[in-house]
Chain A
Amino acid sequence: MNDHPEELLAGYTEGSLGADERARVEAHLATCELCQEEVDLAAEGLTTLSSLPELEPPRGIPFRVRRRAAGTPSRAWRFAGAAAAAAVLIGGGVFVFTNLDPAPLEGEGSAQQGAEPESAPRTGSAEGGGAGEQEAGVEAADAQLTAAPVLPIYVESRRNYESDDLAPLARGLRDDANDAVRSGLAPTARSFFEDFDPSAYTPDVRRAVRCVLADVPPQQLIVPYRIEAASFEAAPAYVATFLQGPTPDDPYDRLVMWVAHRETCGLMSLASQIL
């Protein structure tokens, strides 16, 4: 018996077949115990599933845009509070500082490694186009976007960054960050922190944030945007990206990157990019 009308059995179970198809299935069932048993089981399965209740999403799921949709200011993107200074980074263009050396190593146009901004912000996982881990740029890292509260976006990757990679990464993330602001991210650090909820973070994210900000004096509010647990110059590192405005009450005007050693939390490199 290898002529089971399998594609019709679902419809038969839910009573949606036309008369001809139903007759065909019934004729088969009269001679096939296996299918008869399965149809009984399937009916049981269907009844059970139909009884499942619809659940209320927990509060605090993404963006919390309901308030925004209702016309109140967005508290959408959240972050476990962090106050940090980045005064050393004030300046134009992209600068990369390695090992806390304050001299700019790369100008905006000179760093060539990594993805171009236009191709950078993609999650490869969602439509079956997962990017390989060896692929350069943000694309590979974002393909491994792990579950985390919306900000910071927390990514685990096997990528090893060199100091030259930071400027292209920052440029790639710029478009992403601008998109986030356009789509409901609280526009200033102050408004962002008015409603942060530290309890929403997974232990990994919490540790990463603490580590990245370990040595930063709390002089100015900056908004953690993305943290990638990766390697920097072959050492385990957090590559962290923040949004910063001239003051906590001004719209963000730049994106700053901090690289911290994952174990010692010591700062390894910095970069900045105008939004």
Chain B
Amino acid sequence: MADPSDEELIRRHLAGDRSAFGALVERHQRRVYNLTYRMLGRPEDAADATQDTFVTCMRKLAGFRGTSAFTTWLHRVAVNICYDALRKRSREIPVEEEEHASEAAPGDLAEESATAVDVQRALLRVPEEFRAVLVLHDVQGVPYQDIAESLGAPVGTVKSRLHRGRVALARALRGEHGRGSHTSKERGTS
């Protein structure tokens, strides 16, 4: 028998099936963890954000209307929780210190290769709105249209952010501190 769809699991959960939500978490927690880890850059923060994502989903599931896919909704919740976490972090620790702190904690990234660690650090220097699109599309392979729905932005904006994000990432990897692309800068000043 095929695995039940997300929508079927939601229906069962709302009907009182106590195993249904667990099955949803099991199915999606890797995806959510990887998304939050790439957004936040720290395993413990990613674990917390993953947990918060599912707690929030559980609480709000009754209001899930099914007009979009569950994963689209899940991404929206997860990305917003990451934004909140980043906002909170920015209030607590000045950005400069934050960057040094992450560089001084290689143990946090022990699972990853040296290259992946460099990429993750560079990713954290990409503005968060671009970062979300980069992670969803280039790391997780989510289509433009689904990202647009998750983020509540037009598809064209998603494509622009993706391009600018890639450029910003490459610059960060090269140790340049430019943010975004020439085209965006030029447009912004014209």
Contacts and interface: CB of A to CB of B under 8 A. Distances in A.
Interface of A: 1-2, 4, 6-11, 13, 34-35, 37-38, 41-46, 48-58, 60-63, 65-66, 68-69, 71, 74, 76, 121-123, 125-128, 130, 145-150, 153, 176, 179-180, 182-184
22 contacts: A1-B186, A2-B187, A6-B159, A6-B181, A7-B163, A45-B168, A48-B119, A54-B34, A55-B112, A58-B47, A65-B22, A68-B22, A69-B22, A125-B81, A125-B84, A126-B56, A127-B80, A145-B55, A148-B51, A180-B58, A183-B21, A184-B19
Interface of B: 13, 16, 18-19, 21-23, 25-26, 29-30, 33-34, 37-38, 43, 45, 47-56, 58-60, 76-77, 80-81, 84-85, 88, 111-113, 115-116, 119-120, 122-123, 134, 138-139, 152, 156, 159-160, 162-171, 173, 181-184, 186-187, 190
B50 to A, nearest CB: 5
A123 B59 CA distance: 8
Contacts of B49: 147
Nearest to A122: B59
B45 A183 contact: no
Contact of A182 (B18, B48, B51): B18
Contact of B167 (A38, A52, A65): A38
B186 A121 contact: no
Contacts of B81: 125-126
A4 B183 contact: yes
A254 B157 CA distance: 50
B96 to A, nearest CB: 23
Given A1-B186, A66-B26, A179 B59 contact: yes
B116 A62 contact: no
B89 to A, nearest CB: 10
A59 to B, nearest CB: 10
Contacts, number: 198
The winner among A13, A38, A149, A183 for most chain B CB atoms within 10 A is: A183
Given A34-B183, A61-B33, A183 B88 contact: no
A53 B113 contact: yes
The winner among A7, A41, A65, A66 for most chain B CB atoms within 10 A is: A41
A8 B158 CA distance: 11
A6 B186 contact: no
Nearest to B43: A58
Contacts of B112: 53, 55
Given A7-B156, A44-B170, A38 B181 contact: yes
Contacts of A51: 115-116, 119
Contacts of A176: 59
Contacts of B43: 58
A10 B21 contact: no
Contact of A42 (B111, B115, B166, B186): B166
Contact of A55 (B19, B33, B54, B160): B33
